[in-house]
Structures are given as structure tokens and as C-alpha cells.
């Protein structure tokens, strides 16, 4: 299958919210890259296809830090093989290896986060969560395996109604789970002992970018003195910028909340604004659970320094790497 | 005793929600009492007439146990009837007719006055956030728009029943710029909002506002962002029963408003809870816009005493089985 077709399928699944978790988003992107690498017939085509894929996916989800971090690793490897003018088979092997390592790292990160996160669940807890997070699901599974008794409130999480899927999956694990509308967060916060949220990215100041509604839930928890835990692999750290409002939050398509028939009834001039994500300020997050341990959001810079061995964190910009690869291709 | 068929008709229509909306329910109940008084065929003594009216009041009150406008309309009339101590039945009938008309008038003009008063608070070019579908809140927004204030409105879609769609439609028809957002996005958009205007289902004695689920999320997010929150509420939304410590009951509705039958069948172990209202504490509300003027929520008691003083006394008397003649009733509590 041609790279364009594979990529456009992937993009469709992201935009239409079929891919709900940001971990899943990276997994699917890596799978697509694997196929594209295997099917490429020249080194040039291989390089161009990888750049094309990464460029397209990042365009629709510029906020996905894990996507950018994994892409950086792959692009750096690609730059090496392109400048060395490696044989196609060697280049393929090196790149596939790199992807394999990334996948392995993602899996082991989730496993460790689940173990650490499950320790923070106390028997009798009533946990509130929103949206579909693969990492949070693993934490719950782990805590259940440890024989802890707890229950979960999950919000519907529009747009995308992820909460219905979360409720369904959790109930099948044997967990007592209650589905509520997003508007009922504050109503039920009184009966909640802890909030667990997934993340799309963690900024240098400890701010967390997550599914829209997460920042509202964190605020409401803060008001009620309920602790908020965010589960995020260090692969989700955003090194390039202090995130905040600098990056434009992607918008979901109108039909996700307003089907055509409904719009016709209201009037064609009605507008919609459907952010997919929002930003939780660090003061509403009690701790971030990473594979390196539980850490205060304000201490994120420390962890960043340890991971990159430099401060301020200097991670190569993926656009610059892509451009430099294209330069090499042109000159060669 | 026989009751006029019009009364049963109105009671049925309120029960089946054919008559809906706090104002319409209240006016329908007042009208039912008025018709009942006009068609009274019982014995010609005041005692029997009052019993007859009390029984009809009971029928009406049972139609919608949680709507506060209904007991307010009914007790507005029954309390006045009792307190004015009519000497004969024809005077009693007159009292019911007149107080019913008074109530209907007061209710009809209230929403309009709220619109006028509230619109003065909106400045040119402001962006307003509203939730659900409140006639009083929309009255404020529409008045401001008609004054040429060039406002922009964000409306939440309001799950589970999407009342935000009705709001959007109403405002669009007025030519107002409307943007629908998911309920989860209220904190995200709050930075762009100048004022929040919502309605109320019930206002409690301490100024807490019971309104469509999600209102308290918005009020908290507004408070955090230092955005002012206004509640538009006719005085018949104020709850006399809360003065004596009664709690406002929060109705939990059918889960099928949130998920479909198929989901419930496939996921028998998922609990779905659907509270219709939540409570916004007075500290997150900057003002309540009533037809009597703008008040801080903490002054709700003032409105209740002024408007429903007799009603409150009647609540107390009936609750503690006191006699009306007990002037020092409050000492006996």
C-alpha cells in the first residue's frame, strides 16, 4: 500500500477520534512507520516517506509530546543513515530496531507507572477520572490485581464520549463504575477521594496538557481538597517550550458535538468551538506519576535535567532535523 | 366534593409536562385556583370554602413535587386567603380571584423586568457565557442585544438533553452571534468570557442557587478567572421552605437520557447516574437579578420575607401543627 494511503488512514482515525489515547496514537504511528519502512524501495523514498508521515501526524496533533519525542529519535537515526549513505537493508534494520526499542520503552514505562500508580490507590477509594487513558486503565488493572477494592466515577468526556468506553471496559474488569455527564463533576466530587488523569504532554513548568475537561476536573478537585494524580511517562515531557497557551489546541470536527440534523434545526449560522485538550496548571496537580517515580509537577525540570543530562533542556527541534535530512538528500 | 374539570385538566397537563417551565407552571396553578373559586358550589360558609381551596391546592402541589414555583403560586394565594379573614364566601371568592390575578400579572411582567434590569449590567462588545435554556437569562441577553450592545454568546450544549441547542436557536433568531461548546470546555473558554448569566430552578434562603447540572462547574471556573456570575431569577423561584431548614431535593433522572438502551443491555454493571441539578454556593454568585432589583445572593432572605412572609409562617404553622393564633409561634419551635 502506498505511504500516502497509510498516512491518510491514520490521520482520519486521529481526527475522527477513533484513536482516543495519546499512547495509542504513538503506537499506531510507529506501526505505520514500520510498514512504510519495510515497503520503501530506495533510501531516498524511505527518508521522504518517514518525513512525510511524521510531518502529517504532528500537524494534526502538535500537542502530542510523546509523538514528537519518539519522532525525534527516529529522525536522528534517519539523519545518520542518510548522511552515511547506508545500504537500504542496513538503514531499514537500524530504523526498525529504533522503533522496536521505542515500543519496548513505552510498554515498560506503562508497566512501571501502573505499579507505582496502583500503590497510590487505597482500599475504599472512590476515584474520578475522565477520557480514555491507556496508562490510567493499566493502573486500575494493577490495583485490582493486588486485590484492592475501590470504585470509579467516569465522566462522559465529550467530544468523543470516551467515558462510555472507559465505563464499559472497567465494569468488565469487575470494577464498580459509575458513568456521569461532564457537568456532574462538581456534584460528585464530594463523594470522590482521588482524581486520576492521563496526559497528552507535560510542560517544563509542570503544567499538564490533557483531554478537555481535565483542567475543570482538577480545579473542582482542588476546591474540594481532593488529590489529583496525573500519570505520564517521561516520554510525554515537552522539552521544546514552556507549553502553556503557546501551542494552539487542536479542535475536533463540528459533527462530534453537533450532528448535521441538529445543526439544521438550530440554524446554519451557529458556530462551535470544540477544543480537544486543555491545560491543567501545576498548582492543581498534586503529583505526576512517571516511570521514574512520583514527582511534584514543580520538580519536572529536575527530572528533565536528569533525563537529558543538560540544563536548560536542549532537545533538537524535529523540523530542523527534517530540514537537515532534506538538505543531505538534495546535495547527495 | 366535586372539583371543576378545568382544574383536573390543568393538574394533568402539569403532571405530564405538557405545561413546563417554572413561570408557566406557576401561572397555570394560579389560574386553576381562580377557576376553582369562581365555580365553587359548596356550602355557603367560609370554613368549607377554605377547605375546598386547600384540597385543590393539594391536588396541584402533588403534580410536580420538586418545582418551587408551583408551591409559591399556590401558597401566595392560599396564605392571603387565610390571612385576610374573609367574613363570607363571596368575599373569599373575590380574594382568591384577585390574588390569582396579581400573581399571574407579577409573573408575566417579572421576566421582562429582569431582562431590563440585567441588561444594564452588560457592556458594549461583551462576551457572555450561558448554560442550559433559561427564559430569564435569555431575557437579559436579548434586551442587551436589542439595545445595540453588539454582544457575543457562548452557550454550553448542556448534556444530557441538549437544552443549549434551544438557547442557540432562540439567540440566532435574534441575530446574536452564538457559539456552542461542550460542557467540559467551560474552563477552557472562560478566559474569553466577560460575564456568566444563568437562570435558576430554586434559590435557597442562604442564596445558594439550584440550577441545571453543570451550573456550579461554571460558577467555580468563573470565580477562578474573576469573571462575574449573574443569576437571573424571578422571585417565585425563591424557596420559602428553605427558610425553616428544608433541603432542596435534587431529582435524579432516567439513565437513558445519557446512554441508549443498547449500552445499558451490553453493560449491565455500569451504573449511570443522572442528577438534573446542582447547587452553586452563594460565594460564587455576584448577584441575583430579580424583577424587584439586583440583590447579592446573601440577601435572598430579604426577598423571601418581603414576598413570602405569610407563606413562611404558614409553612411553620403546618409543619409544627401550631395554631394560627399563636403569635409567639417562633418561641415554640
Q: Which of B163 and A313 is assigned the larger pLDDT?
A: B163
Instruction: Single out the catalytic residue among B13, B101, B201, B254.
Output: B201
> Are both A86 and A106 inside the same structural domain?
yes
Q: A272–B178: do the CB atoms touch at under 8 Å?
A: no
Q: What is the DSSP string of A58-99?
A: HHH-TT-HHHHHHHHHHHHHHHHHHHTT--HHHHHHHHHHHH
| Overall average pLDDT of the B54-66 stretch | 89
Instruction: Give the CB-side neighbour count of residue A301, counting CA atoms within 13 A.
Output: 8
As for how many domains chain A has, the answer is 2
What does CATH list as the number for B5-112? 1.20.120.420
Any A CB within 8 A of B225 CB: no
The question of whether B45 is a catalytic residue gets the answer no
The predicted structure's pLDDT at residue B90: 94
The predicted structure's pLDDT at residue A244: 46
Estimate to the nearest angstrom the gap between the alpha carbon of A72 and the chain centroid.
16
Q: What is the CATH classification number for the domain harbouring A77?
A: 1.20.120.420
Q: Which of B:49-108 have CB within 8 Å of A? A: none
Q: Nearest CA to CA, how far is B187 from chain A (Å)?
A: 6
pLDDT beyond 60 at B331? no
Q: Which cell goes with A161?
A: 464520549
Q: Which cell goes with B316?
A: 411553620
> Are both A134 and A88 inside the same structural domain?
no
Q: Which cell goes with B277?
A: 441539578
Q: B42 vs A44, A128, B38, B57, B87, CA distance in Å?
A: 100, 60, 11, 16, 16
The predicted structure's pLDDT at residue B332: 53
> Are both A187 and A98 inside the same structural domain?
no
pLDDT beyond 90 at B31? yes
Which residues in chain A touch residue B182, judged by CB atoms under 8 angstroms apart? 158-159, 182, 212-213, 257, 274
Cell 375546598: give the residue: B52
Q: Diameter of chain A by CA atoms? A: 65
- Domain range for A235 is 118-308
Q: Nearest CA to CA, how far is A310 from chain B (Å)?
A: 34
Q: What distance in Å separates the CA atoms of residue B1 and residue B55, rounded to the nearest whole number?
A: 10
R_g (Cα) of chain B, nearest Å? 21
* Those residues with Cβ within 8 angstroms of residue B25's Cβ, 6 or more apart along the chain or in another chain: B14, B19, B64, B67, B69, B70, B73
The predicted structure's pLDDT at residue B325: 64
> Are both A256 and A165 inside the same structural domain?
yes
The predicted structure's pLDDT at residue A246: 64
Q: What is the DSSP letter of B259?
A: S
pLDDT beyond 60 at B41? yes
The predicted structure's pLDDT at residue B172: 98
**Residue ranges per domain, chain B?**
5-112, 120-245+275-305
Q: What is the pTM of this model?
A: 0.92
Q: B158–A257: do the CB atoms touch at under 8 Å?
A: no
Of B162, B172, B217, the CB nearest to A220: B217
The predicted structure's pLDDT at residue B67: 76
> Are both A295 and A326 inside the same structural domain?
no
> Are both A198 and A265 inside the same structural domain?
yes
> Are both A66 and A11 inside the same structural domain?
yes
Residue B275's region, left for phi above 0, alpha for psi from -120 to 50, else beta, is: beta
pLDDT beyond 70 at B330? no
Q: What pLDDT, in 10s, does the model give residues B117-142?
A: 999 999 999 999 999 999 999 999 99
> Are both A54 and A201 inside the same structural domain?
no
The predicted structure's pLDDT at residue B29: 96
The predicted structure's pLDDT at residue B328: 65
Q: What distance in Å separates the CA atoms of residue A154 and residue A185, rounded to the nearest whole number?
A: 9
**Helices then strands, each counted (H, E), chain B:** 11, 11
> Are both A61 and A142 inside the same structural domain?
no
Q: What pLDDT, in 10s, does the model give residues A143-190?
A: 999 999 999 999 999 999 999 999 999 999 999 999 999 999 999 999
Which residues in chain B touch residue A183, judged by CB atoms under 8 angstroms apart? 156, 158-159, 183, 212-214, 217, 278
The question of whether B201 is a catalytic residue gets the answer yes
The predicted structure's pLDDT at residue B309: 78
* Those residues with Cβ within 8 angstroms of residue A160's Cβ, 6 or more apart along the chain or in another chain: A17, A20, A131, A252, A256
Is the N-terminal amide bond of A312 cis, ω within 30° of 0?
Answer: yes
> Are both A164 and A242 inside the same structural domain?
yes
Q: Nearest CA to CA, how far is B173 from chain A (Å)?
A: 8
What ipTM does the predicted assembly reach?
0.93
How many CB pairs below 8 Å do chains A and B form together? 150
> Are both A240 and A188 inside the same structural domain?
yes
pLDDT beyond 80 at B190? yes
Of A181, A182, A257, the CB nearest to B180: A257
> Are both A83 and A127 inside the same structural domain?
no
Q: B272–A178: do the CB atoms touch at under 8 Å?
A: yes
Q: What distance in Å separates the CA atoms of residue B210 and residue B215, rounded to the nearest whole number?
A: 8
What does CATH list as the number for B120-245+275-305? 3.40.50.10470
Q: Which of B212 and B246 is assigned the larger pLDDT?
A: B212
R_g (Cα) of chain A, nearest Å? 21
Q: Which cell goes with B152?
A: 457575543
pLDDT < 50: residue spans in chain A? 243-245
pLDDT beyond 70 at B326? no
Instruction: Give the CB-side neighbour count of residue A296, counting CA atoms within 13 A.
Output: 3
The predicted structure's pLDDT at residue A243: 47
Q: Which of A50 and B83 is assigned the larger pLDDT?
A: A50
pLDDT, averaged across chain B: 92
Amino acid at each position: 500500500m502506498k505511504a500516502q494511503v497509510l498516512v491518510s488512514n491514520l490521520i482520519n482515525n486521529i481526527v475522527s477520534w477513533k484513536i482516543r489515547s495519546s499512547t495509542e496514537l504513538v503506537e499506531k504511528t510507529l506501526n505505520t512507520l514500520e510498514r512504510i519502512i519495510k515497503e520503501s524501495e530506495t533510501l531516498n523514498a524511505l527518508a521522504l516517506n518517514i518525513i512525510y508521515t511524521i510531518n502529517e501526524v504532528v500537524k494534526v496533533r502538535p500537542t502530542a509530546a510523546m509523538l514528537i519525542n519518539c519522532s525525534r529519535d527516529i529522525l536522528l537515526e534517519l539523519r545518520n543513515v542518510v548522511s552515511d549513505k547506508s545500504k537500504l537493508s542496513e538503514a531499514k534494520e537500524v530504523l526498525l530496531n529504533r522503533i522496536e526499542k521505542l515500543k519496548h520503552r513505552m510498554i515498560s514505562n506503562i508497566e512501571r507507572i501502573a505499579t507505582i500508580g496502583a500503590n497510590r490507590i487505597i482500599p475504599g477509594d472512590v476515584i474520578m477520572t475522565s477520557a480514555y487513558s491507556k496508562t490510567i486503565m493499566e493502573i486500575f488493572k494493577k490495583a485490582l490485581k493486588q486485590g484492592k477494592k475501590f470504585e470509579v466515577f467516569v465522566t462522559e468526556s465529550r467530544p468523543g464520549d470516551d467515558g462510555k468506553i472507559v465505563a464499559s471496559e472497567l465494569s468488565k474488569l469487575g470494577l464498580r463504575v459509575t458513568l456521569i455527564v461532564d457537568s456532574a463533576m462538581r456534584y460528585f466530587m464530594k463523594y470522590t477521594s482521588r482524581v486520576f488523569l492521563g496526559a497528552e504532554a507535560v510542560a517544563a513548568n509542570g503544567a499538564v496538557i490533557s483531554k478537555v475537561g481535565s483542567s475543570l476536573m482538577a480545579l473542582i478537585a482542588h476546591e474540594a481538597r481532593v488529590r489529583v494524580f496525573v500519570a505520564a511517562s517521561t516520554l510525554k515531557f515537552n522539552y521544546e517550550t514552556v507549553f502553556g497557551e503557546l501551542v494552539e489546541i487542536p479542535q475536533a470536527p463540528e459533527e462530534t458535538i453537533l450532528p448535521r440534523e441538529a445543526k439544521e434545526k438550530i440554524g446554519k449560522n451557529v458556530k462551535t468551538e470544540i477544543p480537544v485538550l486543555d491545560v491543567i496548571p501545576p498548582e492543581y496537580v498534586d503529583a505526576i506519576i512517571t516511570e521514574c517515580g512520583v514527582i511534584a509537577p514543580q520538580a519536572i525540570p529536575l527530572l528533565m535535567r536528569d533525563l537529558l543530562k543538560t540544563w536548560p533542556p536542549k532537545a533538537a527541534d524535529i523540523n530542523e532535523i527534517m530540514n537537515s535530512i532534506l538538505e543531505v538528500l538534495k546535495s547527495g | 366534593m366535586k372539583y371543576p374539570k378545568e382544574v383536573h385538566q390543568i393538574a394533568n397537563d402539569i403532571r405530564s409536562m405538557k405545561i413546563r417551565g417554572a413561570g408557566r407552571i406557576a401561572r397555570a396553578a394560579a389560574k386553576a385556583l381562580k377557576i376553582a373559586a369562581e365555580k365553587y358550589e359548596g356550602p355557603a360558609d367560609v370554613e368549607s370554602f377554605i377547605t375546598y381551596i386547600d384540597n385543590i391546592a393539594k391536588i396541584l402541589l402533588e403534580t410536580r413535587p420538586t418545582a418551587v414555583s408551583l408551591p409559591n403560586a399556590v401558597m401566595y394565594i392560599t396564605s392571603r386567603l387565610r390571612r385576610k379573614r374573609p367574613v363570607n364566601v363571596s368575599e373569599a371568592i373575590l380574594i382568591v380571584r384577585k390574588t390569582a390575578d396579581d400573581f399571574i400579572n407579577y409573573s408575566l411582567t417579572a421576566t421582562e423586568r429582569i431582562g431590563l434590569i440585567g441588561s444594564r449590567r452588560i457592556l458594549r462588545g461583551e462576551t457572555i457565557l450561558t448554560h442550559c435554556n433559561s427564559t430569564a437569562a435569555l431575557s437579559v441577553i436579548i434586551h442587551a442585544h436589542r439595545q445595540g450592545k453588539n454582544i457575543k454568546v457562548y452557550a454550553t450544549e448542556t448534556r444530557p438533553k441538549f437544552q443549549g441547542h434551544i438557547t442557540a436557536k432562540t439567540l440566532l433568531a435574534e441575530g446574536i452571534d452564538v457559539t456552542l461548546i461542550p460542557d467540559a470546555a467551560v474552563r477552557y473558554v472562560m478566559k474569553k468570557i466577560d460575564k456568566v448569566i444563568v437562570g435558576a430552578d430554586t434559590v435557597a434562603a442562604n442564596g445558594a442557587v439550584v440550577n441545571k447540572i453543570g451550573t456550579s462547574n461554571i460558577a467555580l471556573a468563573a470565580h477562578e478567572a474573576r469573571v462575574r456570575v449573574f443569576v437571573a431569577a424571578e422571585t417565585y423561584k425563591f424557596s420559602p421552605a428553605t427558610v425553616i431548614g428544608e433541603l432542596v431535593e435534587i431529582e435524579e433522572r432516567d439513565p437513558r437520557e445519557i446512554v441508549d438502551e443498547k449500552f445499558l443491555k451490553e453493560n449491565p454493571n455500569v451504573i449511570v447516574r443522572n442528577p438534573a441539578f446542582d447547587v452553586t454556593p452563594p460565594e460564587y454568585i455576584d448577584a441575583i437579578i430579580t424583577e424587584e432589583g439586583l440583590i447579592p445572593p446573601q440577601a435572598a432572605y430579604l426577598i423571601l420575607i418581603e414576598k413570602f412572609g405569610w407563606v413562611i409562617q404558614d409553612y411553620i404553622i403546618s409543619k409544627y401543627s401550631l395554631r394560627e393564633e399563636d403569635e409567639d409561634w417562633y418561641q415554640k419551635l
